[in-house]
Chain A
Amino acid sequence: MSKDNHMSEEILSLKGVVKSFPGVLANDHIDFSLKKGEIHTLLGENGAGKTTLMNILYGLYTPDEGEIFIDGQKVIIHSPADALSHGIGMVHQHFMLIPNMSVCENIILGNESKKRGLIDEEQATGRIETLSEKYKFSLNPGDMVKDLPIGMQQKVEILKALYREATVLILDEPTAVLTPQESEELFEILRSLKDEGKSIIFISHKLKEVLEISDIITVLRDGKAIGSVRPDQTDEGHLANMMVGREVILKVHKEKMHKGKPVLEVNDLTVFDRRGVSVVNGINFNVHSGEIYGVAGVQGNGQTELVEALTGLLPFVSGEVIIDGAKIEGDNPREVFERGTAHIPEDRHKYGLVLPYPIRDNLVLCSYYHKPFSKRLALNFPVIIEKSSKLLKEFDIKASSILDITETLSGGNQQKTVVARELGREVKLLIAAQPTRGLDVGSIEYIHKKIVETRDAGCAVLLVSSELDEILSLSDTIGVIYKGQIVKTLSSEEATKEQLGLLMAGILEKT
């Protein structure tokens, strides 16, 4: 087959690349080689050096040492423009698109073909339409980018690279923002690009999809290339092992539940979102002490607003919420906090952390105002320092000191900071929303362990997650949310993925 032909040719290689930042060796003598028409995955935890390596290749960083070869020729890449001229295109994790410009304008930006000094939009539109048809993108060049769903915006980014005639495509964590269906579509596109002879560097830390899409997988750990394997020679456990450097338990171990009295009671709760649309419609459920109650559902069925209402960030429209036997007024986060509720928010950068603060200040963000953390008007620093140092150690947050700026931590350590703050005190109820979203394997394992420990200590846990695997492995009881209501409650033993999928899609009748 022709596929085997172009797979033999090496199109790009990196030799002995070193890049250091103050205090960190991000890339330590990395070798990497990409053949024509292959999908080569870079797998590694957050902070392993994947993005640094790709930024070097894309001309955003200059390596301290090492060489880059393209088609056997040594090249020096100074800027993204250089990279593009060598046929390297990159789709960043955070899209580089201008929302209030059209698809066409975004694609030609910086590469406009001109006719008598004016932009030749007709010609550009034609080319975009041809490309879009060829790869089944179904993009309309005239649409505004801000009106497109995330999955389509990503296609605009890919098309941008193809428009510049890229032969090597770098995709940095492309599935992090996609739904499972959108990911599947993306993989279809990647396969057709591969059949065309394009080469793809795929960056990810999701093991399942890596095994599905890759021709070869190179694992990075602590800035070093640990090794390269073919997907048919490996499995999830082995890859996780290579990534983390030790045996990783992918299954969550938990004892039988000891269910106690109800801690959180939600009766006929109705909540409007910020635009005044009713998104939680008279929801009812209870969470008992010693129980993990998982809310499964497709994103956008009221989960976010439900959690925000329970934690005081959004007012209730009607209904009642009882925490530990006492009715709460709502719309007051401190009231909920003082009832012994811990809240791991869905968006840790928006709600959970003040990123420019040192870790110390984030660890007392919710408790700074009461004794012993403050005395009258003044903050009591000796106590704050003692408590935060203890939490740093206890929750294994990797930082040189409590004065490290939170922004400089990896995603996993940032989330551990949130977890340490919320669980580092007496709690009766834990509300965890998407607690492992975007985290690496090691951190996911750690946070799952903590959630189970919290439950075993007799705490009630409300877990909201869009990862079905997470719900199934952690929950004792599963409530399926659809259009702002719990359509079915089942125990985790009787639940199957297929059944949950149908319930989540609103296909199975409510019982």
Chain B
Amino acid sequence: MDVKKIFKLRAGYQDLLIPFLSIITSLVIGAIIIYASGANVYAAYKGLWQGSFGNARTIAETFVSTTPYILTGLAVAFGFRCGLFNIGAEGQLYAGALAAAYIGYAWRGLPHFIHLPIAIIAGIIAGGIWGAIPGYLKAKTGAHEVINTIMMNHIMIRLTDYLVKNPMLDPKASVPRTAYILKSAYLPKIFPGFRLHWGFILAIIAIFLIYYILFKTKVGFEIRTVGLNQDAARYAGMNISKNFVLAMAISGGLAGLAGAGEVLGLNYNLPAAFVSGFGFDAIAIALLAKSNPFAVFPSAMLWAALRNGAGLMQVRAKISIDLVNIIQAFVIMFIAAPNIVRYLYRIRAEREKAGVLLTKGWGQ
């Protein structure tokens, strides 16, 4: 597939320039804040760089964190394409992690090539169901998906806590967690000695698959049409309700896969203290990527690098780890308000092009 051509078709020059300038500007503002707080800017950013791309191990670790960011970022982006704001990626990720963990430790005696795919698919289905529920509620009753996905997050996070501390608890463990999954359900490592696992490859495949679904299939055409103009979709004979449910199910499935990957490739169990946050950062990643599946990759990598590099930055420059959050917040602010960047760099607005409707207001 010719990626260059895709960008030419889907993204103009400014669609790349503005996010890039947003990131640079945020780093500059970050530098000013570091300087103002009396720390060494050079040491801080050197720490940030070395902590994320300094050597083979940190690079591998950055890709370890990139993996769930890609999948949850894709999940949110896919929802945006159908005009849906899926804030529930976090809960859907938990659902996927739970299902994969259960299959991983409870189903014994299966060979690797059967056990692993079943565990992965269980994760996708669990996340998909958890996403489809708010999709169904929206289609049938008009209940807004933002409210319901938030509520579904709370339910799933509490449910996970209960299950891991009660029926799924490993009694031999010193901290509350499930039993370890069997070797036959492991996602293999890509390189020996590094934690980077095959979940990363699955995430890359997912990017291409989601691109294909959105732009090359009937289902994707319907989902995008519903996302851009519901009335025209109905006029063209498309079933709006079906597409809402389907888009939320696919979105949830992607987040579920992210959860399954964390359990099967990294943790090998599900601790009660499992806190990901990936599902919430995913909203920012999808916004930065403007819901373009290919752009989700660099934007997920950026988030992973900031997340991983923050620790070393804190140690080297003796500044708060929260500074990274400030930089992230500025990136999002500039992306959400591109006119600030246009003003700063005197970029003329192009004529409005094939936009993606990122969010819609309430009450519609």
Contacts and interface: CB of A to CB of B under 8 A. Distances in A.
Given A21-B351, A333-B237, A369-B237, 12 more contacts: A22-B351, A332-B237, A333-B236, A337-B237, A352-B232, A352-B235, A354-B229, A355-B228, A365-B236, A366-B236, A374-B218, A377-B217
Contacts of A365: 225, 232, 236
A119 to B, nearest CB: 29
- Residue of B225, B229, B355 contacting most chain A CB atoms (<10 Å): B229
Contacts of B216: 378-379, 381
B218 A369 contact: yes
A471 to B, nearest CB: 24
B15 interface: no
- Residue of A311, A354, A379 contacting most chain B CB atoms (<10 Å): A354
Contacts of B234: 313, 333, 351
Top 7 nearest A-B pairs (CB, nearest first) are A334-B237, A351-B235, A356-B354, A333-B237, A365-B236, A354-B229, A366-B236
Nearest to A347: B231
26 contacts: A22-B350, A22-B351, A313-B234, A333-B235, A343-B235, A350-B231, A351-B231, A351-B234, A353-B232, A354-B229, A355-B229, A356-B355, A357-B225, A357-B228, A366-B235, A366-B237, A368-B221, A369-B218, A369-B237, A374-B218, A378-B217, A379-B216, A379-B217, A379-B218, A379-B221, A403-B9
A352 B235 CA distance: 7
A35 to B, nearest CB: 35
B218 A351 contact: no
B218 A357 contact: no
B96 to A, nearest CB: 24
Interface residues of A, number: 34
A5 B354 CA distance: 53
B353 interface: yes
Interface in A404-424: 405, 407-408
B235 A361 contact: no
Interface of B: 9, 216-219, 221, 225, 228-229, 231-237, 350-355
A174 interface: no
A361 B227 CA distance: 14
A438 interface: no
A350 B221 contact: no
Contacts of A345: 235
B235 A378 contact: no
Contacts of A334: 237
Contacts of B225: 354, 357, 365
Contacts, number: 71
A377 B237 contact: no
A357 B353 CA distance: 9
B241 to A, nearest CB: 13
Nearest to B226: A354
B218 A377 contact: yes
Nearest to B219: A377
A313 B219 contact: no
A310 B221 CA distance: 26
Contacts of B237: 312, 332-334, 337, 366, 369
Contacts of A355: 228-229
Contacts of B350: 22
A312 B350 CA distance: 39
Contacts of B233: 354
A47 interface: no
A350 B233 CA distance: 10
Contacts of A378: 216-218
A262 interface: no
Interface in A66-119: none
Contacts of B229: 350, 353-355
B235 A313 contact: yes
A378 B354 CA distance: 22
A355 to B, nearest CB: 7
A374 to B, nearest CB: 5
Nearest to A403: B9
Nearest to A407: B352
Contacts of A312: 237
B17 to A, nearest CB: 16
Contact of B228 (A337, A354, A366, A381): A354
A354 B232 contact: yes
A405 B217 contact: no
A358 interface: yes
Contacts of A311: 235
Contacts of B352: 407
Contacts of B9: 403
A379 B218 CA distance: 6
B221 A405 contact: no
A281 B352 CA distance: 44
Contacts of B218: 368-369, 374, 377-379
Contacts of B231: 350-351
